[in-house]
Amino acid sequence: MPELPEVETVCRGIAPHITDKQIVDVNVRNPHLRIPLPQDFAARITGLTVKTVSRRAKYICIHCDKDTSLIIHLGMSGSLTILTNPPSAHNKHDHVIIQLSHETYLVYRDPRRFGFMAVKPTDMLPHFPSFTRLGPEPLDKEWTGEELYNAVHHKNTAIKIAIMDQQSVVGVGNIYACEALFLAGIHPARPASGITKPETTRLAQAIKRVLSDAIASGGSTLRDYVRSSGEAGYFQHHFNVYGKKGQLCPNCNTPIAIIRQSGRSTFFCTHCQH
DNA sequence: CGGCAAACCTGCGAGC
DNA sequence: TGCTCGCAGGTTTGCC
């Protein structure tokens, strides 16, 4: 999926098209998402008017009137696109079509179906199970290396695993964890407990920088991810290490190494990262 | 509690 | 050309 920059790009992309519009029809073509859509999903949101769109971690929150919010997670392969004509009936991974007023269609596509949608009372959102254990937002000004240090210094796990743990800090997935550790010059397999305060300061700055730069580029497009407009993001062209096994480090020309951590590929430079 | 593997799915590219 | 294998932006669960 989409990590934080892709989710943020989706939110910014859909907001101007759906804000202040009314949901006039909901077509559930396949309710079998990671969390199955309830029978009454369509009935519960039809007729509502969209007020605001926000993001928490990698979750998209579409706040409507009547104290109702639609929560969307894109999993690994999900996308949300805006169409101004009825979508084709043949796209077998277009699982939910939300038709809004003024000929606007919000299409939820997710080939792997690791994502989900849920309807919640807006005032209950903080108690939504997926939200209760989320850590701080890395792009908040208040989030610093000190917060990161406090979140990870007691963990025995590798620093890369620690920063991908959504309880430490939200929004950092496999790509941006690799890229941030490269920018900070930290070896991904170091125990989190051994990372010094100056290093967490560098790492927090690197996380902020890589996430903000990626947002500025419209996110990264590898396989399925597209922006709400259907365009690709282009931050993938700025990767230093992710997906670059065997290619040369932009700093020192050492071939980029790959290791496996908790079942995920980690790319790094053995010379620049200690 | 911590840490890791597996599970949930489909698609695609590499290699034979 | 066509098959099998491995791997893919995430999260949760269950097992030691």
* Protein-proximal nucleotides of chain B (any atom < 7 Å from a CB): 2-12
Closest CA to A52 of A80, A11, A82: A11
A1 pLDDT higher than 70: no
Banded model confidence at residue A233, pLDDT cuts 50, 70, 90: confident
Per-residue model confidence as pLDDT tens digits over A158-199 = 999 999 999 999 999 999 999 999 999 999 999 999 999 999
Query: What's the Å distance between residue A157 CA and nucleotide B3 C1'?
Result: 8
Q: Residue A150 corresponds to which tokens in the numbers above?
A: 């406090």
Question: Quick one: pLDDT at residue A273?
Answer: 97
Selected residue with higher pLDDT from A158 and A231: A158
> For chain A, what is the HEC assignment?
CCCHHHHHHHHHHHHHHHCCCEEEEEEECCCCCCCCCCCCHHHHHCCCEEEEEEEECCEEEEEECCCEEEEEECCCCCEEEEECCCCCCCCCCEEEEEEECCCEEEEEECCCCCCEEEEEEHHHHHHCHHHHCCCCCCCCCCCCHHHHHHHHCCCCCEHHHHHHCCCCCCCCCHHHHHHHHHHHCCCCCCEHHHCCHHHHHHHHHHHHHHHHHHHHCCCCCCCCCCCCCCCCCCHHHHCCCCCCCCCECCCCCCECEEEEECCEEEEECCCCCC
Query: pLDDT per residue over A59-105, tens digit each?
Result: 999 999 999 999 999 999 999 999 999 888 788 999 999 999 999 99
pLDDT computed for residue A3 by the predictor: 94
Spatial distance from the CA of A80 to the C1' of C11 (Å)? 19
Distance in Å from C7's C1' to A24's CA comes to 40
Band (pLDDT 50/70/90 cuts) for residue A224 is low
C1' nearest to CA of A258: which nucleotide?
C7
